[in-house]
């Protein structure tokens, strides 16, 4: 299969994941599948994102099968933020976003993204963990950033690819992983399913 004639299914509503797949030149078709995203008691961040990426792939595959779609690799992913063992998902409201951003101020946290590819009964997973250091944030920084509206559909209440870029002193890991789809790991997985890069 060459890149130009390859097409995969993307079980994701995230505009970032679409953009990042387009960056790789992968053709894809979106599939809608909803899953429960609650954290299980005692579950750590890597176990959580791996379970959710897998659940999204399985739910997407079930939809593809139900619709009688041809067998092609299906990609899903999940991103979460963790600091001192506490998992930060998407903020529920502005106060929740402020709580998260205050926790990250002047310190580091980790962003964990798991990617799953499923085709028929075969499923492969990869996980990327990136350490992100924020500068100190003032109450004004936090209020203005929340006022931009950016935090609300994002794990940890910020987007490194948006205005929160000015908060990030340094990262150690994968920029695209923080955005929601680590492209190095994703290309590796897709290669195992027959696609070719670059």
Q: Supply the residues annotated as catalytic.
A: 78
In terms of CB distance, is 119 or 174 closer to ligand TTP?
174
In terms of CB distance, is 116 or 195 closer to ligand TTP?
116
In the bound complex, what is the minimum distance in angstroms from residue 166's beta carbon to ligand TTP?
13
144: buried, middle or exposed (CB in 10 Å: 19+, 13-18, 0-12)?
Answer: exposed
Residues within window 116-155 making contact with ligand TTP, judged by CB under 6 A = 153-155
Unique residue bearing structure tokens 């590819």: 117
- Kindly state the tokens that stand for 179: 């955005």
* 63 contacts: CB under 8 Å, gap ≥ 6: 11, 31, 32, 33
Among 12, 110, 174, 176, binds ligand TTP (CB under 6 A): 12
In the bound complex, what is the minimum distance in angstroms from residue 122's beta carbon to ligand TTP?
20
In the bound complex, what is the minimum distance in angstroms from residue 35's beta carbon to ligand TTP?
8
In the bound complex, what is the minimum distance in angstroms from residue 185's beta carbon to ligand TTP?
15
Task: For Cα atoms 66, 122, 31, give the angle at the middle one, nearest 5 degrees.
Answer: 40
Q: Are strands 74-83 and 86-88 parallel, antiparallel or unpaired?
A: antiparallel
- Kindly state the tokens that stand for 197: 């890069």
Task: For Cα atoms 146, 138, 176, give the angle at the middle one, nearest 5 degrees.
Answer: 55
CA 183 – CA 1 distance, rounded (Å): 19
Task: For Cα atoms 164, 52, 33, give the angle at the middle one, nearest 5 degrees.
Answer: 95
Among 64, 146, 179, 190, binds ligand TTP (CB under 6 A): 179
Q: Which stretch binds ligand TTP (CB under 6 A): 11-19, 98-106, 123-131, 184-192?
A: 11-19
In the bound complex, what is the minimum distance in angstroms from residue 192's beta carbon to ligand TTP?
21
Q: x/- contact string, 51-90, with ligand TTP (CB under 6 A)?
A: -----x--------------------xxx-x---------
- Kindly state the tokens that stand for 146: 């929340």
In terms of CB distance, is 113 or 119 closer to ligand TTP?
113
* Contacting residues toward ligand TTP, per CB under 6 A: 12-14, 16-17, 56, 77-79, 81, 111, 153-156, 158-161, 178-180
């Amino acid at each position: 299969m060459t890149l130009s004639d390859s097409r995969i299914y993307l079980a994701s509503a995230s505009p970032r994941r679409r953009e990042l797949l387009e960056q790789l030149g992968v053709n894809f078709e979106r599939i809608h599948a909803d899953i429960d995203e609650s954290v299980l008691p005692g579950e750590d961040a890597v176990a959580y994102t791996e379970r959710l990426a897998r659940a999204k792939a399985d739910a997407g595959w079930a939809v593809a099968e139900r619709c009688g779609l041809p067998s092609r690799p299906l990609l899903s992913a999940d991103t979460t933020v963790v600091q001192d063992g506490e998992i930060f998902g998407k903020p529920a409201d502005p106060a929740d976003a402020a709580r998260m951003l205050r926790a990250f101020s002047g310190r580091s946290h980790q962003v964990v993204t798991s990617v799953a590819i499923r085709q028929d009964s075969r499923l492969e997973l990869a996980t990327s963990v990136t350490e992100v250091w924020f500068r100190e944030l003032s109450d004004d920084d936090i209020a203005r950033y929340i006022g931009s509206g950016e935090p609300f559909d994002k794990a940890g209440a910020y987007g490194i690819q948006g205005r929160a870029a000015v908060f990030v002193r340094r990262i150690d890991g994968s920029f695209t992983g923080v955005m929601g789809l680590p492209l190095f790991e994703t290309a590796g997985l897709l290669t195992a399913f027959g696609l070719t890069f670059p």
